């Protein structure tokens, strides 16, 4: 097996909270991401799911160095060259690697500069890196616009002339024009209507096959993740609580939080009622409970949960890990009675 | 139409008279809500579902205007009221808003004033419609807070909105809406801004309170999953018109209108392991609505000369309780 | 219920704008819908044209005087078939008891008026020599005061046109200084942040808490009385600007802080764009329109500042003519009561300030072409 394209090791990010006033003092720190590790293989799609405050967006922003991680390594393998720790690089050393790492944003309205034309937005990466200009630049912009389903005739228009779905296509074109190897899609379809969402998901799949892309998809919509991803990492309060191949995760979730999350999804079928597995609200990252952060809401909470933070343990080999003290969480599937949240 | 409806909307037209021309945001919508039942209006952005709900409470602002149709409210006691005919400052409107009909919003934060306590919000809502003493208002406020599942309501009643989490605020929003025992509750995307576990809690809460208080619910949403879980009946809207109407189970399992079919085929949950069959193109702007059936340019079953000429097709009954606005409904049965 | 009002504005269809209009074209389109602002824009265009061509538009020169017509009241031009455009000549009567002067119109002596009449010769902009005036009396030996005369028999109309040169430009010069200070200091404050931001913000608060009038008095007293009128003029504008930049600095800082968090700024960072590129290509164009609005809205304050200072005798002094200097004649209530036309400059000040405010209003509404209204 090839070495992974991206290895995240012990990634942490904390934000200081300072008092307002002339002499700001450090009041507290919010541990937004806490010791997150995972591998991402070339050509696969990993989904990062969780509720608000789970740290999923902070995680990917640290990986892309839109934020600087507080600790940990982000080991990236560019197409030519050896393993590089993105977390340790300076802004200028990072620049040559930027073309390989791109992002598609959630909000199709705020992610495009309203004062630039489509051609300027899509072509900007090439201009910034001095990769093309003049007629070649125009040709490459037209080419990528066609690839994402827009017409070259759209190039002189401004973003406000487009619908949400079309704007998202412009954002995708900007991300792909430099032929990146890793594309992070941060809730890239969340703001879209369901029929447009389907168009964009199909487009992302087609482009993955064509350009051999590796996706890291951040989403809160479990439907999208199940449809789109090969593996899924579930985050809660800044930590990964379960990481599994999509089919296994949706068929027999192990972590009580994963179970609760899946049960709460309103299934578009009146004969499959959703279930309320947990009460309460997601943990506040600035006031995390001790031990397992989920234990105050966990229906199966027992003695060690409040005291000790569970480490990720393997269920079946390294591809399926879960961070839970419950002995049943890591039993092989055959031993375990099938859980009620199985929805085939 | 059954006799015991709480709301009957007949041929409602709400247009926006802008400088670019008239935008028919709602164009001939007819539906009714039986007492104690839940109707979901579902559709994509710009389909007119929110404008419809705002029309019922007469909250549509200029340049929007109700240009035709009836909105008949049928309270348990008292005469039916046609909301569409009421003048802007009519005292009936104040009686209706928050009393007979109340509303919960998508953004619970925006609906609560930051300088008033939770108790003040609830008391205001109550005292606008009933003659109650301050002590009585406080007692009722605590009672309704307990009912919407807020722990320690005696303490919460004196807190400010910013001290509550998003889910809590939405519970308070529901408490404000229900404190005067409305006969119709309009829920406009009540869970769209919430996390999925909180969404499940709020949807459960709305359902159980509805059963307990016996009110009807008009649910506005874009999420067919929420519709399936909460509603009894569903009306699918496209470009200001209802294109399909019927019991939820029937519509979701056997959609008759090509647009409803397209919507359901776009949902990843119903198409695991398959390529999503998305609807081609995008929703046209309201100032360029296609002739004939407004959906025909995106419809896989459209026939030239039949679907693209004349006015939009009427909503017609195709079987018991099922209405579809498609001339080919019988021919394209799946 | 408060809830209903806050949400109702969202129940509108999103505006659909046509194709590939640039943001500036969109701004202009929205501006044109604001009728009052368009009128104000035209009014200001007229005022500034008059100021630029003062020598040509004014019937007389600045210092032209006729002592025999001191405090002559204003006369409006009339039209008749017999005389064309004319005003009756003014005859001065002196009350034999009180020596109070008064004027009566002498209908038998019409003074013919006309366009492009020849009068005093002048040099416009340093190179156009002419004696043609846009409007005035046909026969230079006769006279007519459209807005009345002051105590030396000087033509108020002409003096107001000359005075607008100073009064309207003092705003612009001060605005240029404000712009430099505001954008630089505000930009540094917003982009650098941290302790620098903290110091600048506190400095702004201190400057804003200064009482303006005593400060002006002090500064006015400091200006050496033997400075040339021009030097005084520039000193005044700098004083006005030194106090006026704080507002703009705050706007610039706020906008930079807000736009820095926009996804498109993050997107630019992620493609590897430099700080300079992000600042000038992505952030600055996002609020140039806001800068223009703030500057437009602060012109009136500058004009009023100059007027107040000059009126109090601390700013410009004769022989320079500005609206404020002209108002120095109105210091006595008796003068104002007897010769109310001496207050004419106030009308112009009000019109100008209103025009700038309406223009600013219109620009503010049009400034963000993507805001939903």
CATH classification of the domain holding C289: 1.10.3720.10
CB distance from B52 to chain C under 8 Å?
no
Q: Return the higher-pLDDT residue of A295 and C80.
A: A295
Between CA B159 and CA B143 the distance in angstroms is 16
Asked whether the beta carbons of C91 and C103 are under 8 A apart, the reply is: yes
- Confidence label for C122 from pLDDT (cuts 50, 70 and 90): confident
Give percent of chain A with pLDDT exceeding 70: 94
Contacting A residues, span 25-84, partner chain B, CB-CB under 8 Å: 51-52
Specify whether A225 is located in the same domain as A283. no
Mean pLDDT of the B283-294 span: 88
Residue C35 within a domain: no
Specify whether C72 is located in the same domain as C116. yes
Residue B179, pLDDT score: 87
In which domain, by residue range, is C274 found? Answer: 159-366
Residue A240 within a domain: no
Residue A70 within a domain: yes
If one counts every other C-beta atom within 10 angstroms of the C-beta of residue C33, the result is 13
Q: Which among B50, B107, B124 has CB closest to C11?
A: B50
Residue A333, pLDDT score: 63
Spatial CA neighbour of B35 closest among B218, B177, B203: B218
Chain B residue with Cα closest to C5: B59
pLDDT tens digit sequence for B185-207: 999 988 887 888 888 888 998 99
Quote the minimal CA–CA distance from B167 to chain A in Å.
Answer: 7
Domain count, chain A: 2
Residue C58 within a domain: no
Between CA C301 and CA C14 the distance in angstroms is 37
User: Could you give all domains of chain B from N- to C-terminal order, each with its CATH number?
Assistant: 1-87+223-334 (3.40.50.300)
Q: Return the higher-pLDDT residue of C149 and A146.
A: A146
Residue C32 within a domain: no
Residue A89 within a domain: yes
Mean pLDDT of the C236-247 span: 77
Question: Given C130, C150, C170, which residue is the final one in a domain?
Answer: C150
Lowest mean pLDDT: which of A51-60, A282-291, B121-130, B222-231?
A282-291
Residue C369, pLDDT score: 54
Which residues does chain B have within 8 Å of residue A284's beta carbon, measured at their own beta carbons? Answer: 165
Specify whether C142 is located in the same domain as C216. no
Residue C190 within a domain: yes
CB distance from B287 to chain C under 8 Å?
yes
Specify whether A31 is located in the same domain as A84. yes
Which range scores top for mean pLDDT: A311-320, B198-207, C192-201? Answer: B198-207
Q: Which among A110, A115, A178 has CB closest to C23?
A: A115
Asked whether residue A32 carries a pLDDT value surpassing 70, the answer given is: yes
- Confidence label for C128 from pLDDT (cuts 50, 70 and 90): confident
Residue A251 within a domain: no
Contact assignment for C13 to B57 by CB distance below 8 Å: no
Question: Given A214, A229, A244, which residue is the final one in a domain?
Answer: A229
Specify whether A175 is located in the same domain as A303. no
Specify whether C278 is located in the same domain as C145. no
pLDDT tens digit sequence for B244-287: 999 999 999 999 999 999 999 888 887 777 788 888 888 888 88
Average pLDDT, chain A: 86
Contacting C residues, span 178-217, partner chain B, CB-CB under 8 Å: none
On the CB side of B163, CA atoms within 13 Å amount to 10
DSSP three-state, residue A53: coil
Specify whether C166 is located in the same domain as C268. yes
Chain B interface test: which of A269, A278, A342 (most B C-beta within 10 Å): A269
Asked whether residue B58 carries a pLDDT value surpassing 50, the answer given is: yes
The domain that contains A71 carries what CATH number? 3.40.50.300
Those residues of chain C whose CB sits closer than 8 Å to some CB in chain A are 17-23, 26, 198, 202, 262-264, 266-274, 277, 282, 285-286, 369-370
Contact assignment for C8 to B60 by CB distance below 8 Å: yes
Average pLDDT, chain C: 77
Residue A174, pLDDT score: 93
Q: How many CB pairs under 8 A join A and B?
A: 130
Residue C3, pLDDT score: 38
Specify whether C141 is located in the same domain as C179. no
Between CA B52 and CA B218 the distance in angstroms is 11
Residue B3, pLDDT score: 59
Which residues does chain A have within 8 Å of residue B165's beta carbon, measured at their own beta carbons? Answer: 281, 284
Contact assignment for A268 to B224 by CB distance below 8 Å: yes
Residue C2, pLDDT score: 41
Residue C120 within a domain: yes
Question: Given C118, C150, C182, which residue is the final one in a domain?
Answer: C150
Which residues does chain A have within 8 Å of residue B168's beta carbon, measured at their own beta carbons? Answer: 281
**Structure-token pair, residue C179:** 């712009």
- Confidence label for A342 from pLDDT (cuts 50, 70 and 90): very low
Name chain C's partners: 3 or more CB pairs within 8 A. A, B
Specify whether C105 is located in the same domain as C129. yes
Residue C279 within a domain: yes
Specify whether A267 is located in the same domain as A329. yes
Specify whether C215 is located in the same domain as C362. yes
Specify whether C345 is located in the same domain as C299. yes
Residue B1, pLDDT score: 43
pLDDT tens digit sequence for A154-181: 888 888 888 888 899 999 999 999 899 9
How far apart, in Å, are the Cα atoms of A233 and each of A9, A185, C351?
14, 15, 66
pLDDT tens digit sequence for C20-73: 677 777 777 777 888 888 888 888 888 888 888 777 777 777 777 777 777 777
Q: Which among A52, A228, A266 has CB closest to B195?
A: A52
Q: From its phi and psi, is residue A10 left (phi > 0), alpha (psi between -120 and 50) or beta?
A: left
Beta strand A45-49 with B81-82 is unpaired
If one counts every other C-beta atom within 10 angstroms of the C-beta of residue B88, the result is 6
Q: How many CB pairs under 8 A join B and C?
A: 55
Specify whether A60 is located in the same domain as A132. yes
**Residues constituting chain C:** 373
How far apart, in Å, are the Cα atoms of C354 and each of A33, C35, C348, C358, C366?
55, 14, 10, 6, 18
Specify whether A35 is located in the same domain as A146. yes
Residue C54 within a domain: no
Specify whether A136 is located in the same domain as A265. no
Mean pLDDT of the B52-78 span: 89
Chain C interface test: which of A124, A151, A154, A174 (most C C-beta within 10 Å): A124
Q: In angstroms, how far is the first alpha carbon of chain B from the final one?
A: 28
How far apart, in Å, are the Cα atoms of A22 and each of A76, A130, C197, C250, C319?
41, 43, 10, 17, 49
Residue C9, pLDDT score: 37
Spatial CA neighbour of A101 closest among A8, A247, A216: A216
Chain B residue with Cα closest to A257: B197
Specify whether A61 is located in the same domain as A161. yes
- Confidence label for A48 from pLDDT (cuts 50, 70 and 90): very high
Q: Return the higher-pLDDT residue of A143 and B114.
A: A143
- Confidence label for C230 from pLDDT (cuts 50, 70 and 90): low
Mean pLDDT of the C320-337 span: 77
Specify whether C234 is located in the same domain as C184. yes
Average pLDDT, chain B: 88
Specify whether A44 is located in the same domain as A173. yes
Question: Given C150, C179, C202, which residue is the final one in a domain?
Answer: C150
Specify whether A116 is located in the same domain as A25. yes
Residue C8: is the preceding peptide bond cis (ω within 30°)? no
Specify whether C267 is located in the same domain as C245. yes
Mean pLDDT of the B12-17 span: 92
Residue A2 DSSP symbol: P
| Angle of helix C344-367 versus helix C35-52 axis, rounded to 10 | 130
Asked whether residue A74 carries a pLDDT value surpassing 90, the answer given is: yes
Asked whether residue C4 carries a pLDDT value surpassing 70, the answer given is: no
Contacting C residues, span 30-89, partner chain B, CB-CB under 8 Å: 33
pLDDT tens digit sequence for A269-283: 888 888 877 777 777
**Structure-token pair, residue B314:** 């009427």
**Residue C283, φ and ψ in degrees, nearest 5:** -85, -50
In which domain, by residue range, is A143 found? Answer: 6-229
CB distance from A162 to chain C under 8 Å?
no
Residue C9 within a domain: no
Specify whether C81 is located in the same domain as C204. no
Chain A residue with Cα closest to B252: A269
**Structure-token pair, residue C138:** 């046909």
Asked whether residue C11 carries a pLDDT value surpassing 50, the answer given is: no
pLDDT tens digit sequence for A82-93: 888 999 888 888
Domain count, chain C: 2
Specify whether C133 is located in the same domain as C176. no
Residue B276, pLDDT score: 84
Residue C5, pLDDT score: 36
CB distance from C15 to chain B under 8 Å?
yes
pTM for this structure?
A: 0.79
Residue A29, pLDDT score: 81
DSSP three-state, residue A220: coil
Give percent of chain B with pLDDT exceeding 70: 98
């Amino acid at each position: 097996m090839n070495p992974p394209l991206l290895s995240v090791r012990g990634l942490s990010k904390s934000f200081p909270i300072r008092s307002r006033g002339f002499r700001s003092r450090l009041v507290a720190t919010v541990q937004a991401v806490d010791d997150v590790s995972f591998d991402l293989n070339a050509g696969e799609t990993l989904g990062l799911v969780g509720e608000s405050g789970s740290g999923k967006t902070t995680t990917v922003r640290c990986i892309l160095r839109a934020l600087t991680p507080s600790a940990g390594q982000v080991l990236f393998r560019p197409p030519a060259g050896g393993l590089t720790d993105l977390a340790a690089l300076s802004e200028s050393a990072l620049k040559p690697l930027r073309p390989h790492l791109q992002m598609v944003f959630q909000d199709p309205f705020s992610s495009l500069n309203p004062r630039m034309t489509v051609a300027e937005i899509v072509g900007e990466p090439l201009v910034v890196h001095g990769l093309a200009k003049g007629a070649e630049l125009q040709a490459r912009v037209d080419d990528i616009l066609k690839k994402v389903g827009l017409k070259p005739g759209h190039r002189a228009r401004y973003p406000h002339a487009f619908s949400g779905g079309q704007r998202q296509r412009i954002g995708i074109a900007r991300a792909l024009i430099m032929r990146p190897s890793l594309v992070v899609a941060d809730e890239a379809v969340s703001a879209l209507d369901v029929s447009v969402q389907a168009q964009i998901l199909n487009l992302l799949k087609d482009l993955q096959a064509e350009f051999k892309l590796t996706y890291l998809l951040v989403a809160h919509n479990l439907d999208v993740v199940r449809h789109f991803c090969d593996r899924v990492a579930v985050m809660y309060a800044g930590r990964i609580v379960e990481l599994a191949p999509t089919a296994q995760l949706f068929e027999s979730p192990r972590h009580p939080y994963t179970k609760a999350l899946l049960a709460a999804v309103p299934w578009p079928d009146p004969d499959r009622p959703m279930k309320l597995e947990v009460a309460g609200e997601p943990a506040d990252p600035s006031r995390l409970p001790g031990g397992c952060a989920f234990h105050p809401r966990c229906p199966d909470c027992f003695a060690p949960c409040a005291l000790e933070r569970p480490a990720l343990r393997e269920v079946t080999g390294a591809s399926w890990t879960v961070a839970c003290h419950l002995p049943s969480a890591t039993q092989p599937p055959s031993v375990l009675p099938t859980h009620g949240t199985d929805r085939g | 139409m059954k006799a015991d409806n709480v709301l009957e909307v007949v041929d409602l037209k709400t247009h926006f008279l802008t400088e670019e021309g008239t935008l028919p945001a709602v164009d001939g919508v007819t539906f009714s809500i039986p007492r104690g039942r839940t109707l979901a209006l579902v559709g994509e952005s710009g389909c007119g579902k929110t404008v419809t709900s705002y029309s019922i409470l007469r909250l549509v602002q200029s340049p929007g205007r109700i240009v035709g149709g009836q909105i008949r409210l049928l309270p348990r006691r008292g005469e039916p009221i046609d909301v569409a005919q009421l003048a802007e400052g009519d005292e009936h409107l104040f009686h209706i808003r928050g009393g007979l009909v109340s509303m919960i919003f998508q953004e619970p934060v925006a609906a609560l004033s930051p300088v008033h306590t939770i108790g003040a919000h609830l008391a205001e809502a109550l005292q606008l419609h009933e003659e109650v003493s301050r002590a009585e208002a406080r007692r009722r406020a605590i009672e309704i807070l307990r009912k919407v599942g807020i722990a320690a309501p005696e303490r919460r009643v004196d807190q400010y909105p910013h001290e509550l989490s998003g889910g809590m605020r939405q519970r308070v929003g529901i408490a404000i809406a229900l404190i005067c025992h409305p006969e119709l509750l309009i829920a406009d995307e009540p869970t769209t801004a919430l996390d999925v576990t909180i969404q499940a809690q709020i949807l459960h809460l709305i359902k159980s309170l509805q059963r307990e208080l016996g009110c009807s619910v008009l649910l506005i949403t874009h999420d067919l999953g929420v519709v399936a879980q909460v509603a009894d009946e569903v009306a699918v809207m496209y470009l200001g018109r209802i294109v399909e109407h019927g019991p939820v189970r029937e519509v979701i399992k056997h959609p008759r209108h090509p647009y409803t079919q397209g919507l359901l085929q776009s949902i990843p949950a119903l198409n695991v392991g398959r390529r999503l069959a998305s609807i081609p193109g995008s929703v046209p702007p309201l100032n360029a609505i296609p002739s004939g059936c407004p959906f025909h340019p995106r419809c896989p079953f459209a026939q030239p000369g039949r679907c693209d000429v004349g006015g939009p097709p009427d909503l017609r009954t195709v079987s018991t309780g099922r209405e579809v606005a498609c001339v080919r409904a019988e021919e394209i049965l799946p | 219920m408060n809830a209903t009002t806050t949400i109702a504005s969202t129940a509108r269809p999103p505006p659909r704008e046509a194709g590939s209009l640039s943001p500036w074209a969109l701004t202009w389109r929205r501006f044109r819908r604001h009728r009052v602002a368009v009128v104000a824009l035209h009014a200001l265009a007229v005022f500034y044209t008059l100021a630029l061509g003062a020598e040509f538009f004014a019937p007389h020169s600045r210092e032209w005087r006729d002592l025999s017509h001191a405090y002559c009241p204003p006369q409006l031009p009339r039209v008749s078939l017999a005389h064309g455009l004319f005003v009756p000549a003014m005859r001065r009567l002196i009350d034999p008891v009180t020596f109070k002067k008064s004027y009566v119109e002498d209908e038998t002596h019409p003074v013919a008026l006309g366009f492009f009449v020849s009068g005093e010769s002048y040099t416009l902009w340093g190179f156009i020599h002419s004696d043609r005036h846009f409007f005035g009396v046909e026969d230079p030996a006769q006279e007519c005061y459209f807005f009345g005369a002051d105590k030396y028999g000087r033509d108020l109309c002409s003096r107001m046109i000359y005075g607008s040169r100073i009064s309207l430009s003092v705003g612009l010069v001060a605005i240029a200084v404000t712009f430099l200070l505001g954008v630089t200091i505000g930009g540094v404050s917003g982009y650098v942040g941290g302790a620098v931001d903290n110091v600048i913000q506190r400095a702004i608060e201190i400057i804003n808490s200064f009482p303006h009038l005593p400060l002006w008095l002090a500064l006015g007293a400091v200006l050496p009385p033997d400075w040339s009128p021009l030097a005084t003029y520039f000193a005044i504008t700098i004083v006005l600007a030194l106090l006026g930049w704080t507002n703009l600095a705050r706007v610039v800082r706020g906008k930079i802080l807000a736009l820095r968090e926009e996804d498109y700024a993050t997107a630019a960072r992620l493609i590897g764009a430099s700080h300079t590129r992000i600042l000038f290509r992505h952030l600055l164009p996002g609020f140039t329109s806001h800068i223009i609005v703030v500057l437009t809205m602060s012109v009136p304050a500058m004009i009023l500042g100059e007027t107040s200072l000059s009126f109090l005798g601390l700013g410009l002094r004769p022989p320079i003519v500005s609206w404020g200097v002209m108002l120095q004649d109105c210091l006595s209530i008796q003068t104002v009561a007897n010769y109310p036309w001496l207050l004419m400059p106030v009308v112009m000040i009000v019109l100008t300030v209103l025009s700038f405010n309406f223009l600013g209003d219109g620009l503010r509404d049009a400034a963000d072409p993507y805001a939903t209204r």
